[in-house]
């Protein structure tokens, strides 16, 4: 399933009465950039307007205001994790679940003339449509090779694999460089750390 396909799992076919803007805290935006999620789950929204399943959503970040994703409200899950990057974090009640339909997390689009009054703000459908139009057509998808190389000392191949996954879980995308290149063009390989290109050649830093 691609970003541009509408994910209907967990949503209802109710008549849409309005649209919504969701403002992500900076740290949550960074978490969404690091690890792929099909849905955005937000908690701690007591006292704010509650969107209905099926309502369209524009996901934004502030300072400056930028559009980073589109989605639709899905049915809330029974529970969600406090830290979306940590599957072992303490679980809490689900609040607002947005199924992504389009992401531009790596290239946010500047937004003007949208007044937000909190983490969730009601929009009319015309305003939401204008935000969605800012994204233009989705880019073509292509095949990529992604690798992670770790030198590991171990007594056996099986132990080396266990240690590898331990390091991956412990360090994660915030510390480990992943190497990505278009399929068939390995010479274009680039390292990424924290979701952005990172130079791994110490000689070039001198």
Tell whether 74 and 111 lie within a shared domain. yes
Give the model's confidence band at 113: pLDDT under 50 very low, under 70 low, under 90 confident, else very high.
confident
Count of the separate structural domains present in the chain: 2
pTM of the model: 0.74
* Residue 6 falls inside a structural domain: no
The CA distances from residue 159 to 147, 149, 168, 206, in Å, are 20, 16, 14, 37
CA atoms lying within 13 Å on the CB side of residue 184:
2
Report yes or no on 14 lying in a domain: no
Could you tell me if 115 and 189 lie in one domain? no
Q: Tell me whether residue 10 is in a domain.
A: no
Of 113, 133, 153, at which residue does a domain stop?
133
For residues 151 and 113, state if they share a domain.
no
In a domain, 12, yes or no: no
Instruction: Among 86, 114, 133, identify where a domain stops.
Output: 133
The answer on 127 and 27 residing in a single domain is yes
For residues 31 and 96, membership in a common domain is answered with yes
Specify whether 116 is located in the same domain as 186. Answer: no
**Of 79, 104, 133, the domain-final residue:** 133
- 101: closest CA among 5, 205, 9? 5
pLDDT in tens, 33-80: 988 999 999 887 766 677 889 999 999 999 899 999 999 999 865 455
CA distances from 26 to 30, 33, 62, 63 (A): 6, 11, 8, 9
Domain enclosing residue 122, as ranges:
19-133
* pLDDT at site 16: 41
Residues 87 and 160 in one domain: no
What share of the chain has pLDDT > 90, as a percent? 52
14 pLDDT above the threshold of 50? no
Query: Which span out of 79-88, 93-102, 197-206 was modeled with the highest average pLDDT?
Result: 93-102
Q: Are 42 and 124 contained in the same domain?
A: yes
Residues 134-160 pLDDT 10s: 999 999 999 999 999 899 999 999 999
Query: Residues 159-188: pLDDT tens digits?
Result: 999 999 999 999 988 889 999 999 888 888
Same domain, 26 and 100: yes
């Amino acid at each position: 399933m691609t970003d541009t396909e509408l994910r209907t799992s967990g949503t209802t076919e109710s008549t849409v009465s309005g649209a919504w803007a969701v403002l992500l805290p900076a740290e949550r935006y960074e978490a969404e950039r690091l690890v792929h999620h099909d849905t955005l789950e937000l908690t701690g929204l007591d006292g704010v307007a509650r969107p209905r399943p099926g309502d369209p959503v524009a996901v934004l970040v502030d300072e400056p205001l930028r559009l980073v994703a589109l989605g639709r409200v899905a049915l809330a899950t029974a529970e969600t994790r406090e830290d979306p990057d940590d599957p072992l974090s303490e679980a809490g009640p689900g609040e607002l679940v947005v199924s992504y339909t389009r992401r531009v997390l790596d290239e946010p689009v500047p937004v003007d003339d949208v007044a937000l009054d909190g983490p969730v703000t009601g929009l009319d459908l015309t305003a939401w449509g204008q935000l969605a139009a800012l994204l233009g057509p989705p880019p073509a998808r292509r095949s990529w090779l992604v690798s992670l190389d770790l030198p590991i000392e171990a007594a056996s191949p099986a132990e080396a694999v266990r240690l590898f996954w331990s390091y991956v879980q412990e360090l994660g995308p915030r510390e480990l460089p992943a190497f990505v290149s278009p399929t068939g063009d390995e010479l274009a390989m680039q390292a990424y750390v924290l979701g952005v290109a990172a130079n791994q050649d110490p000689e070039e830093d001198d």
